[in-house]
Structure 1
Amino acid sequence: MTMHRLRLPRVSRISSRLILFLALSVVLTALAISMVTAILGSRDARARVEGQLTSVVALKRQEIAAWINNLHLNLEIILSETGIEGDLRLLTSPGAPTDLKEAAYSRVRAQFFWAAFRTNLFDEVFFMDREGVVLAATAPGREGQRLGLNDYFLHGSIGEYIEQPSYSLSLGQMTVVASAPVADQEGQVGVVAGLTDLSSLNQIMIERAGLGETGETYLVGSNHRLLTYLRRPGYSIPETYVRTAGADAAVDRKMSGAATYANYSGVTVIGVYHWIPELQVALIAEQEEAEALRSTRMVLYITGGVAAVAVALAILAGVALTHRIVRPLADLGATAELISAGRLDAEAPTVRDDEIGALAGAFNRMTTRLRSLVEGLERHAGHLRALNEAAQRISSSLDLEALLPHVAEGLVRTFEYDAVHMLLLTEQDRGQLHSCTHAEIRCSGAVSVDLAHPQVGLSPALLLVARTGEEVLTSRRADDSAGSAAYLDIAVPVRTRGELVGVLELVAGETHLLDDLDLYTARTLADQLAIAVENSRLYQHAHELAAAEERQRLARDLHDAVSQTLFSVGLIAEVLPRLYERDPEQGKARLEELRQLTRGALAEMRTLLLELRPSALAESRLPDLLKQLAEAVTGRARIPVEVLVRGDVDDLPAAVTGVLYRIAQEALNNVAKHSAASRAVVQLEHDSRAVTLVIADDGRGFDPGAGGTGRLG
């Protein structure tokens, strides 16, 4: 039997062996570096992302705990109100007089409405007796319901309890109920509970700080139902159920940890999950694996490209070195050893004017370019870090007064610029200038500048950009050896939606001039500053819009009252001619009623104008305002109100006038609603010592010795 051995072709020429050896060395080294880089980079990237997500989960866990504490705290505030426990005990007493129970019911509901709508935490507040029957609630439809089998009643009878989120078919949204026991000296009274939606939890989950471009956080219920909104569209609540490795571990096994798995949409993510026992929900933070490993892949691509270039250079070097490889190669080898040890300033001797000398020269040029490349990469990395820090600061702050000096100081410290100036335009030919200099790493406060009459110290470049909106590069000159550009001053515009809102200026330091990388930094930072200015404007606009909506709501409420009065006027006016022909006396009475209604409607309209224009309240005389309130009550409730003024009240401070007006307004509303009076008197007295406001009526009154609710109205 004949056996054949596999033989590789033998390379006999030294040049071929040298070329093959160099090529294999570079390829194997590049492969080894690529594998190590891939393994270590991937591991480091995963650990870094898991750490970031863990920090985000911990922060959001604290915010959720604070939200839960606020719910319990507001229930405690309700029960801490003076007399509330006695009123609740009275509601549960079957033998209590009806009028006392009705008064207690009114006070309890008033307190519940205050807790529900003034604190903006609860959508509903209700009280259940010891059998679970709802006796008082902000939602009338809930009163009388038997809720004794619900967990929030059973656990709330023992201590503070919050029910896990559930979907309310009547409200069409996810809700949470917090409950607490009510007890007095006689023992258990019942349970008070508050119902709220998950808008606050949604707001906590929407915050994307530390999550990158593809990261998100969301909550999953104990039945795997999605509780908060997702970043991707098409996943609605309550139809969406999340069954991923992270959700299963947190919900089914009540575990907390981190893993890599396919998320709800099938995309591979790095996720951190945490079980929250208080709410019986899972908090999940995820970031796509592609984004987490992006930097590692870029390093692999760069390594592969460098390896390919190195192989080509090795082959060329082998061909050149075959001519003379004894002493010239030894010299080059010694130089190469110095460079591999980190001596990038080492140079090969070029005493010979032949191929070896040319090779030595090329080797030296390559070393020079390598030094430049390393320095450029380090500087570029510094620019990217500074831009990233500035972007994080800009995305997390809406206060431009604090943001701009911080960013300017960071640029001066990182790149040793001589100065950084940021001009924020506030109006035509005016702005706020923030400056930071390298002399003492000191940033001055904002300085108001008049661009039409510029002060001494404003650079011409900054003024030119502010006037023309075009970037200005000062003292640009070409570098013949490197073909790069150098600047003494870079000024770029800051634009948002095509509008010039500011100028960013970088001034060269003493150690180096500015180059294209600094120009790129200035342009990128200007774009980020434009986003910050736009975010600040949107934030301000949102506040103004909320105020406008509140005024419109108030106008609608008051307009409804005026409409009812005018409707009554129309009915009386329609029947008045026929009534007057049939019974003149009754016609006169109806005519007087018509007069009162119209005067009351006019007073209501004036009150509407005061509410819509608060400045008019400070400009009006207090006696006129009191007469206007009296006419409104007379027209609306048919109660004659007499206004008596004694003393000079025209010099009262605006704040005192506003307080007295609100007191009279609330008191007269109570007279109209609750007193059943036939007449009322408003008396205002002012002397050198004090101002006194008295509102009296001949109605049924109340017992001053009875326990109050602690309210002022």
Structure 2
Amino acid sequence: MGSVRANGAPSRDHHIPLLAQFIAERRPGVNVHDLGGGASHVVAYAPLMNLAEWGVAVEQPEYAVLALPRDLQTRMVIFGGIALLAAVLVAWIDVRRVVKPLRTLTAAAARIGAGDLASPVAMQRGDEVGTLARTLEGMRQGLCDLIEKRKRHEAELEKRVEQRTEEVTALLATSEAFASTLDLSALLEMILSESRRVCPGADAGMVAILEKHSGSLAPVASFNCNLEALQQVRLRPGEGVVGKVFQSGRTSLLTDDELEREDGDIGQDNLGHFKASCLHFGRARSALSVPLVAKQNSVGVLIVYDFDGPLSLSEHELKVLQAIGSHAVAVENAQLYEEVQQKEALRGQLLAKVITAQEEERHRIARELHDESAQALTALMMALDAVEKGMPAIPHEQREKLHHARSLTEGALGDVRRMIWDLRPIVLDDLGLGSAVRWYAQQRLEAEDIRVHVSVSGLRERLPARLETELYRILQEAITNIAKHAQARNAWVRLCRTNGRLSVSVEDDGRGFQVDALGPADQGGCGLGLLGMRERIELLGGSLAVHSLPGRGTHLTIEVLVEGNGG
């Protein structure tokens, strides 16, 4: 609020000091007059253009002057605050609209990173966040698919590993079982047993082995078949399923019609024996044939039959059966061992016959020497004695010749008697092994200045004649070796019978030798030698051990069962 007044004496106005400069310069202006006490007035002056002496001065309290701008300022502040709050709210809402989905996506990504792929990323938006959500969901589904594929792959691998482990375990068990025996029959039973375990659906089966002497395949083991009828079968390589599998070396799984067609070339006799072996089953509906291979050569065939329908076999089971067939080197080894055993038994029989013939010949020669040569020499000595007594006046020269002839005859008679003792000592027949060994050791070793120590226990009863003879020959050879080679001062011979077992020991304190360095030629160098002793002991089913070192003497021990040799 202001007032307009004409004032001819402006000096009387208390605002004049503030306006003096404006009036003097005749220019408009505004100033603030502080009246004290917190009161201020705004004074404005403007000169009148046409009236040089006149001007207009307006004054008003400062609060009144500033009321409108302050009100406007207040309104502007209020409106600005409201606008700011609205902007913040809008920004907050917009940020929340973006941040919340991002947080959701972050949490989903964290779950996926932690391995939780079960929860889907569900967000339906058309903006970039929606695109990101769809990408993350696609990644989740892709990971789920990959994990599922990996699980299936791992499951398949585990199954294959289990099958392979089972296969290796079966092969290891089979190999250990095969390696544990050289008995062909037991080995074939193992093969059949393992085939039944792997192929439980099989109703019957057999193993046919190539006979070397005939070149034919002969069934030698079976299950659920009449083996007696099967053993009449002889198949040529290439004849029937068995012969074809043997010839080709490839596994064959045949069904009804195929089996009948492949067996069409089997001879009537063989076919009849085959049918007779499985009469209680009827006609086979399928058959699996596996070649038994050793060193890339077939030695036989394993065949299993199903009389109800096709054999149900997995690839794994088929591989196990084929692996069993590939381990047939054990069958070949068992065959070779059986052949060696047969040859060894034959050799033993021949050796026993040779030794028996030798003993009989020794006995015959000893008897002839005793009955003929010894008697003739004894008669000659008696005749020489009679001549000497009947001719008391015989010249000295002739008497010396008679004495010389008698001495020669007496020496020859002694040699004949020693030969008789060597060939067949009478004391062995009359008094037994202990007395014969004692007599021979004393006669043979004391002549070489070797002290003899003989110990005999448990031989009150006579041993079987064959056992006595064989042991006497062995001990005779051992004692002879001491006399010839040992250069010993003492020799000990011990015989002890306990609990059906006879233990014999021959020991000397001679020069000894290196047993490992002694070859077969050295062992048989004198008489029977160690080789001959071993052969005789093996015929008796006993054992012979030789312990010796250079300069430490020799110790020979023999163990033999009395009961197994006629006792």
Report TM bin, short chain. Answer: 0.3 to 0.5
The TM-score with structure 1 as length reference comes to: 0.27
More helix by share: 2
**More RCO (CA 8 Å, sep 6+):** 1
The TM-score with structure 2 as length reference comes to: 0.33
Which has the higher Rg, Structure 1 or Structure 2? 2
